[in-house]
Structure formats: structure tokens, C-alpha cells
Amino acid sequence: MHLGLGLYRHMLNAEHYAFARQAGCTHIVAHLVDYFHKGAGNPRHNQPTGGPNQPWGHAGDPERLWTVEELRALRREIEDAGLKLAAIENLDPAHWCDVLTDGPRRAAHIENVKTIVRRMGEAGIPVLGYNFSIAGVAGRVSGPWGRGGAVTVGMDGPVDDPLPNGVVWNMVVDPDAPPGTLPPATHEQLWDRLRRFLDEVLPVAEEAGVRLALHPDDPPLAFVRGQPRLVYQPWMYQRVIDMHPSPSNALELCVGTLAEMTEGDIYEAIGSYSRQGRIAYVHLRNVRGKAPHYRETFIDEGDADMVRVLEILDRNGFDGVVIPDHAPQMTCSAPWHAGMAHAIGYIAGALAALRRRPEPLSSQD
């Protein structure tokens, strides 16, 4: 198991690579989508939140896909800093929103995804994290709810105001969209859209040597903003695995999102996915409560036992990358960095203790 750090687009630079190295990370997960673009009230030193009904920001240029040259340059600068590029996290909704909504440009948007996957293969980037969600990471609120008053995010009940036209995946994809709202899909339609997406893209991913890694729906609810969600209980993740036996059909396992789910047992679920070898990489964070009433917490103060999670992954031979997911903002002049350094240090300590231990403490997982 390897320790990594996820960096937002504006953090993909030498300073943040040095920070990652100094904290003990060996890998980087890179976000190429600028979630903060034109996003008023969405500070860049925190995870993107928007408001319960406000999108993060504006999506990128629909006509400009990431090039092989820029992907290679990114990998090279990360390797030059003594790190490895483990994954690209998230597609730009500008490039594939009609795959999510089954819109009129769906065929072109599927080709966009195939092109990006092929280019990642050419650039030697092994994993593409994605989030097959119409509303995206929406409906959350922010406040001083972490230990000692650290600012963190959470949810205060369902958010079902309909999604306006021109917003997909919590970003503005069409600023000139006519007034009105996006008609709601059904759960069956959404699963069918995923099936068609995997049917079309997985053969390309296999050929390119790229794994597609699905993040569960955050927050995990049956509906957010009137749109259905795909993976909002642990067994639905298994349904994704069962959909295609391809090793390129993998999970971006988000432990915090799993802990927010109302059904199942996260230790059993993580044991099962890891025994099947279907976890591409892991988001590690903790939470108190369950969707739609929960708070993100420091990694060592929530409901879930992070050491037990790492122990399960280790015992089942998981050899991928673990990154801290979101962390609370610590009160200082570098709130994001301090929150991340705290989480990384905690994970590094837990991994060191696991490596020293001759036998796992518990054997029921």
C-alpha cells in the first residue's frame, strides 16, 4: 500500500510536490478539472463546496480535450519531483455531460472519453477516477464542526431543489441555457447509462492499460436535487463490479462516503471489494453521522475505525494508493496544508504500525 496526495488543478506545481514528498507521500492523484473556475464564494484553499444549491464553478472548454503532451508533461514534472502520478481524478463535465444526462451529444461525448483514456494510456497514466453522477457532489454545507472548531463540511437534510438547465455534475456546462430545470431521470435509466458507458469505454481502457475507477455518490442518497444517484449503499458498488469482469472496471473507494451510507457494514464491504482485487485507489476520511445528516471530521475523530480499514486492505493484499480525502480546515495560515499533513501523518503512522505487527489484531474481516 502506498501513500499519496490528491492535488487540485491549481496545486499541480513544484511547491505542492515538495509538500507531498516532505509529508512522506510517494504518489500524486491529479485533478485536471478546475472546479473553482468562476465559482464565486468557493475558496481555493478548501475542497470545492459551492452552496447547497450553488454549483462549484464553470466547466472547461468543451472543444479542448487534455492532450498527450500535457499529460506527459504532468507525469514528467511529478516524476522529476521524486513522485509517481497514480491517477487522474474526474472527467470535465464539459467533455462528457451528455453521457450522464443521455443528451443529444452523447455519441460525441463517449468519443471524448475514449480519446482521453487512449491519451492517458499513451502518457503512461494508469487510472482514471470518475463519478457517474448527474447532480455531482452537491447539497452540502460548511461550518466549524470539526474538533476544536475546525471548519468542515456536512449535510443538514436532503436537498431536492431541481437542477437548473445548464448545470451538470455540480458545474455550469452551459451558461446560456434557457430557464427551466433538467427533467429527472430514473434509477433504471441511470444504471442503463452506466452499462452503456462501460460497454463502450472498457474495451478501449483495457487496450490502453487504464483502469476506470468509480467514486460512489457523495453524498450517498437515493436522490439529490431531484436526480437519482447510482451508488448510495455498499451493495450498489458490488453491482458495478458485477456489471463487467474487466480488471479495468474498478473502484475509487471512498471510505468517508461509504461511512455516510445507511446500510451495510463498511468493514465487510471493504473486505469484500479488496478480496476481489477491484479497488484501484482509496480516499480515506472519516465522518460522524449518516446521510443526509452527517459531518466530515478529522481522520481520527469520526465513527469509522481508519486503522481497521487499513488493516483490512493490507491483509487482502491491496497494493494501490491511499490518499487523504477531504480534511477539516485547521486554524492557521495554511488551513488546507495543515489538514492534509495531519491526515497523512496519521495514515503513515497506522501503516508503520501495521508493518511492524506480526499478526493482525482481529481476524473477523
- Minimum distance of Mn ion from residue 133's CB (angstroms): 12
Which lies closer to Mn ion via its Cβ, residue 34 or residue 89? 89
Near Mn ion by CB under 5 A, which window of 131-139, 252-260, 286-294, 345-353?
252-260
- Minimum distance of Mn ion from residue 128's CB (angstroms): 15
Q: Of 29, 198, 250, 254, which one interacts with Mn ion (CB under 5 A)?
A: 254
The answer to whether residues 197 and 133 touch, using CB atoms and an 8 Å cutoff, is: no
Q: Of 89, 311, 325, 365, which one interacts with Mn ion (CB under 5 A)?
A: 325
- Minimum distance of Mn ion from residue 215's CB (angstroms): 6
- Minimum distance of Mn ion from residue 285's CB (angstroms): 7
What residue spans of the chain are helical by DSSP H?
Answer: 14-22, 68-80, 93-101, 106-123, 187-208, 234-243, 255-260, 266-275, 306-315, 335-356
- Minimum distance of Mn ion from residue 256's CB (angstroms): 6
Near Mn ion by CB under 5 A, which window of 58-66, 204-212, 279-287, 314-322?
279-287
- Minimum distance of Mn ion from residue 218's CB (angstroms): 6
Residues of 99-124 as b/e, b for ≥16 C-beta within 10 angstroms? bbbeeeebeebbbbbbbbbbbbbebe
- Minimum distance of Mn ion from residue 6's CB (angstroms): 9
What region does 50 belong to: left with phi over 0, alpha with psi -120 to 50, or beta?
left
Q: Of 31, 225, 283, 342, which one interacts with Mn ion (CB under 5 A)?
A: 283
Taken in order 10, 14, 15, 21, is the CA torsion positive or negative? positive
- Minimum distance of Mn ion from residue 280's CB (angstroms): 13
C-alpha cell at 267: 468493514
Near Mn ion by CB under 5 A, which window of 7-15, 152-160, 259-267, 318-326?
318-326
The answer to whether residues 183 and 224 touch, using CB atoms and an 8 Å cutoff, is: no
Which lies closer to Mn ion via its Cβ, residue 98 or residue 325? 325
CA-based nearest residue to 133, from 57, 62, 194: 194
Maximum pairwise Cα distance, the chain: 63
Considering the rule CB under 5 A, would residue 140 count as an interface residue with Mn ion? no
Near Mn ion by CB under 5 A, which window of 33-41, 101-109, 242-250, 319-327?
319-327
C-alpha cell at 262: 445507511
- Residues touching Mn ion: how many (CB under 5 A)? 3
Near Mn ion by CB under 5 A, which window of 114-122, 164-172, 195-203, 275-283?
275-283
Near Mn ion by CB under 5 A, which window of 160-168, 250-258, 291-299, 343-351?
250-258
Residue whose beta carbon is closest to Mn ion:
254
Interaction residues for Mn ion, span 63-122 (CB under 5 A): none
- Minimum distance of Mn ion from residue 339's CB (angstroms): 15
CA distance linking residue 311 with residue 271, whole number of Å: 10
Near Mn ion by CB under 5 A, which window of 72-80, 168-176, 237-245, 324-332?
324-332
Which lies closer to Mn ion via its Cβ, residue 217 or residue 325? 325
- Minimum distance of Mn ion from residue 326's CB (angstroms): 7
CA distance linking residue 197 with residue 142, whole number of Å: 34
Which lies closer to Mn ion via its Cβ, residue 95 or residue 283? 283
The answer to whether residues 213 and 130 touch, using CB atoms and an 8 Å cutoff, is: yes
DSSP 197-264: HHHHHHHHHHHHT-EEEEPPPSS--SEETTEE-S--SHHHHHHHHHH---TTEEEEEEHHHHHH-SSS
Residue type, 275: R
Q: Which residue has the cell 465559482?
A: 39
Which lies closer to Mn ion via its Cβ, residue 123 or residue 269? 269
Residues that bind Mn ion (CB under 5 A): 254, 283, 325
